[in-house]
Structure 1
Amino acid sequence: MVNDGLSRRTALRALGGALALPTLPALPLTGRAAGQDGFAPLGRVEVEGTKEAVVDGDVAYLATTDGFATVDVSDPESPALLAERRDLLADREGGPLEEIFDVKVDGDRLVVPGPANASQGALQGAALYDVADPAAPERLAVYETDFFHHNVYFDDGVLYFGANGLPGNPLVMVDADALAADDPNPELGRWSPAAEDDRWLDVPFGVFNLHDIWVQEGVAALAYWDAGTWLVDVSDPAAPDPIVKVRGYDPEDLAGLSDQAVASRQFQLPGNDHFVAFDDDMSLLGLGMEAWDQTPDDGEGSPGGIDLYDVSTLAAPELVHSFAAPPTDDPSYSGTWTTSHNFELTGGRLYASWYQGGVSVHDVRDPSDPTPLAEWRDEVETSFWTARAARPGEFFVASSANFLEWDVTEALYTFPDPDLEESVPNTTTPTPGGNASNGTDGPTANGSTANGTNGSAANGSGTNETNGSAGSGATGPGVGVLGGAAAFGLGAWRLATRTREE
């Protein structure tokens, strides 16, 4: 949501000259783009602990593992750090807040949740900030909970939490105004698949957890890993009403799985509904699967990609296209990660991040036949957590996050946004591993093929909230392991990857 963008942009440009903060205005040209001579980052600003990024006007907000940061992106060639807050809630029992992997902004308010994973004795909750002046965030309230927070959403004054660890792993909705006013009961309502079928209460957490949330025009899209993705009417948070289960297994398929079976399934396709987002007019829904090929020698399986569903009729979603993950010589969890992570659908484009597989942009105005516009990859130096539009048609941002001691650069990058009118015909080739290409449908999470068409798809110690040093990094991609298919084939991903010798 753009909030007073013009006045904020003017103010930030005035600040820019006075802030001597670390930037890299011109990175080497090491990528390619369809229809362009070259494609590479415009700039970057290094921020330790970087995870999720969201954009509002000329400001990007970053989760930084032990806090958050605000970044002026009004000049994409020279993004500048505005403020950092570290060691949040260090004065509270169990504090400071840990594993802050996500942030969301709604107007002049920012929510900062943690921890992303269960941690015995750790403080669980979220801090609400006033960011009317992004260079001087002010804390408004704290919401302590009995559940941990992998991801949240913030829309039209309502905070949406994935209450993982509670029975049924429900969506919990909270009134931000009531929270800011110190109302002791700010909760508005909650919903879980278990409210519709209590058999979900018997399903192991590793294959049934609310990994991510997207809310738009009163509809919540909820990614529940192997339990699939659900659309729920939350226009009245006190009376949420399920609209449709887009896909996923049924509880009898998942209940009673052994610990070994869960440990295997939660890493691999099919299933693994990880991230979900609507496009601008809610005619298109993107579903990302975070998955690996744990047995690459058997010739089956692949890293998770992104599926596009036509949801112009919400109650009747239709799979129209699947994108495979970028190729990798080692698609296992211990190899090079190129599985889908977070993305955005806006302005007729899909902006996608693929960890060490880089970032990509596609023209999805015809979602059944998307056109590749740009891609960039440097698996030695970067691992992208998200890609987000900043000014569609001008530039987008992507955050590079460090996992598992990869020693990549933790930073917010800016990239030029390709012109839709320069789209070229889709000439990508299939990725090895059985992924479908050129718009054919693949199996849904329960293994059935949608629409009857051909093809198979993979599916600082110190004072509280001071500017200080970053904390430790994450231990994995999501909760448990939280930690495709016009495919990005070997031909399409002709990316110049720097080597360590360079």
Structure 2
Amino acid sequence: MLSSDDADWADTGRYAACRVIGDYSSHTCGAESFELIGCDKASLASLPRDGIYTLVYRTEHEPPYINAGSFRISEDGSLDSFRGGAPTERWQEVEGFFLTRTWNPSSSVSMRSSLVGCRAEGNRLYGCHATCRNGTLTYAGTFMAEKWEPRAGEAEASGLRLASESFVEQGEPVDIYVTQGHAYVVSIPRGEEPGGLSVFDVSDKAAPVLRKRISLPTDNYWNGVWAKGNALYVASADTGVVVFDISNPAEPRQVRSFPGTGPIDVHTVFVEGERLYGMSPGPQPKTLIFDIQEPTAPRLLGEYAEPGAADNPWVVGYPHDALAFEGRLYINHWSSGYVIVDVSDPENTKRLGSYAYPYATSHANAVGKFGERLIAFEGGENWGAHLRVLDVTEPARPKRIGGYELNENVSIHNMVLKGERLYIAHYQNGVRVLDVSVPENPKEVAYYNTYRETDPNRGESFYEGAIGMRVPGDGYLYVIDTSRGLLIFPEP
């Protein structure tokens, strides 16, 4: 049975009166590509010119689809950033706004993206966008951008105290696992800088010590990490699951990659008991199920593929993350929403139910027992993404019973449930801790605003700030911030 509810994003129509003009097959994506008839150009003079903006792109397709992004501007141009790099050109005259960037992802490909302002209201900018590939228009429509600001009335922290902060020196840190007195931090590439694995000795929480950095020349987009015993599992976008022997915790030794059947993208990993799950967006979207009775030698038992995902991945989506609990796998299957699968027999997996909603980007979840009920916490990753609380006691009929949301221009990311506390890595909104003893009514009991505009690389992406976390049961909360690195807090 398919359930549905309100979307993270509601389509209210085009954001602005401007339009993209010209021949789609031969396009510049420059300022001359936009028609501004009907725009309130005078209003643009009131737009704050110094700060970080997050934005939602809306296409002209029917139905439209959306994407999120960001840019950073300043009066003198010293803090400019757009599409992850410095703009090629910009102007912000009294009655105008234009921002463009050109880059070359390969020797044969030239990309250009542009934004043009149409009107401004307070801290919001409305306008048109266009992206070209080798002179051909590939993506166009309208957008809404909102200046990021700290939440009104909040201090740096409430209920959380920072014990230590450790910069991660390779790539962009995104996830963490803590075991045997060490924190294993994985990174994805940032610009020309490769990602990899950084190992911190955290026996002294106030003064972690970097023990090891590992980065492979052609395999370093490492987005997820988990461990069992003396085995560390790293989710690789190139080779599946990279297995390390951590019998010497400070000196991981690479064993091999699994499943070892060719290039495969595994985005996240999860371990429950003697099972390892690897969520793979491609080349065919599916979740891999491994036996890890011998932890450093995973053995493929089976897989689950959402019907239609191989033929129509754009609509059906892909497994982004998942959590296993008592014989069931709860998969965040992006545009398909939240999918519940019986994996008690990995060679004969069975879909039990799902929870879908319009414009879904189902991204992360947590599941636990509350009395006689089985409760799931689910969240997307896009403009307007927020927490949903679901009763999944009957997996064929999941029912929404509550929720939690902050400002729509900042997304949630990962979450961890410990007893009656839900910990959320909330990107630019930092760390949020919720009391979920009454699941229908989550109450925020602590927070820490990790995001500071002055930190390096801010304003380069919609997906930045507090991104990964673990609560391993040693009395501490471990958080990864995309700029600041490893942050450790005593549990509240």
TM bucket, shorter chain = 0.5 to 0.7
Summarize the alignment of residues 45-124 of structure 1 with structure 2, pairs less than 5 Å apart: 45-48=166-169, 49=171, 50-56=173-179, 58-65=181-188, 66-87=195-216, 90=217, 96-115=218-237, 123-124=238-239
Query: Who is 2:157 aligned against?
Result: 32
Gaps of 5+ in 2: 1-153, 189-194, 456-463
Amino acid at match of 1:98: N
Mapped to 1, the partners of 2:435 and 2:180 lie a distance apart of: 22
Mapped to 2, the partners of 1:163 and 1:32 lie a distance apart of: 36
Amino acid at match of 1:46: F
Amino acid at match of 1:351: Y
Match of 2:273 among 153, 156, 180: 156
Amino acid at match of 1:231: I
Query: Who is 1:134 aligned against?
Result: 249
How many equivalent residue pairs? 317
Match of 1:188 among 265, 278, 301: 301
**Secondary structure of the structure 2 residue equivalent to 1:391:** coil
Mapped to 2, the partners of 1:104 and 1:222 lie a distance apart of: 17
Mapped to 2, the partners of 1:379 and 1:151 lie a distance apart of: 27
Summarize the alignment of residues 234-249 of structure 1 with structure 2, pairs less than 5 Å apart: 234-245=343-354, 247-248=355-356
Question: Is the Cα–Cα contact under 8 Å of residues 55 and 388 in structure 1 kept in the other structure?
Answer: yes
RMSD value, Cα = 2.7
Match of 2:376 among 259, 265, 285: 285
Amino acid at match of 2:240: G
Question: Is the Cα–Cα contact under 8 Å of residues 280 and 346 in structure 1 kept in the other structure?
Answer: no
Question: Is the Cα–Cα contact under 8 Å of residues 174 and 185 in structure 2 kept in the other structure?
Answer: yes
Summarize the alignment of residues 303-314 of structure 1 with structure 2, pairs less than 5 Å apart: 303-314=384-395
TM-score by length of 2: 0.59
Query: Who is 2:364 aligned against?
Result: 275
Amino acid at match of 2:183: A
1:395 maps onto 2:486 in alignment = no
Gaps of 5+ in 1: 1-28, 91-95, 116-122, 250-268, 293-302, 332-337, 402-407, 419-502
CA drift of 1:368 comes to 1.3
Bigger mean CA offset, 63-72 vs 361-370: 63-72
With over 3 angstroms needed to count, the CA separation of the structure-2 counterparts of 1:314 and 1:51, relative to structure 1, is same
With over 3 angstroms needed to count, the CA separation of the structure-2 counterparts of 1:248 and 1:362, relative to structure 1, is same
Amino acid at match of 2:257: V
Mapped to 2, the partners of 1:234 and 1:369 lie a distance apart of: 31
Match of 1:147 among 245, 250, 264: 264
Mapped to 2, the partners of 1:139 and 1:201 lie a distance apart of: 31
CA drift of 1:223 comes to 0.9
Query: Who is 2:334 aligned against?
Result: 225
Mapped to 1, the partners of 2:296 and 2:202 lie a distance apart of: 28
Amino acid at match of 1:412: L
Amino acid at match of 2:366: A
Larger Rg: 2
Query: Who is 1:414 aligned against?
Result: 488
Mapped to 2, the partners of 1:47 and 1:280 lie a distance apart of: 36
Deviations 1:270-324 (A, max 9, x none): 41111122237783211111011xxxxxxxxxx2111121234444432222111
Question: Is the Cα–Cα contact under 8 Å of residues 267 and 279 in structure 2 kept in the other structure?
Answer: yes
Deviations 1:138-169 (A, max 9, x none): 223322344212212233333322232244x1
Summarize the alignment of residues 431-446 of structure 1 with structure 2, pairs less than 5 Å apart: none
Amino acid at match of 1:238: E
CA drift of 1:129 comes to 1.3
**Secondary structure of the structure 1 residue equivalent to 2:288:** strand
CA drift of 1:354 comes to 1.3
Mapped to 1, the partners of 2:366 and 2:163 lie a distance apart of: 26
Q: Which has the higher strand share?
A: 2
CA drift of 1:56 comes to 3.1
Deviations 1:71-106 (A, max 9, x none): 23333322332332222xx4xxxxx21311111112
Q: Sequence identity of aligned pairs in percent?
A: 25
With over 3 angstroms needed to count, the CA separation of the structure-2 counterparts of 1:157 and 1:362, relative to structure 1, is same
Deviations 1:161-219 (A, max 9, x none): 2232244x1212133457945x9xx321111221xxx5x55434366111112122321
Mapped to 1, the partners of 2:486 and 2:220 lie a distance apart of: 21
Amino acid at match of 2:389: L
**Secondary structure of the structure 2 residue equivalent to 1:51:** strand
Mapped to 1, the partners of 2:336 and 2:487 lie a distance apart of: 34
Q: Which has the higher helix share?
A: 1
1:383 maps onto 2:465 in alignment = yes
With over 3 angstroms needed to count, the CA separation of the structure-2 counterparts of 1:130 and 1:279, relative to structure 1, is farther
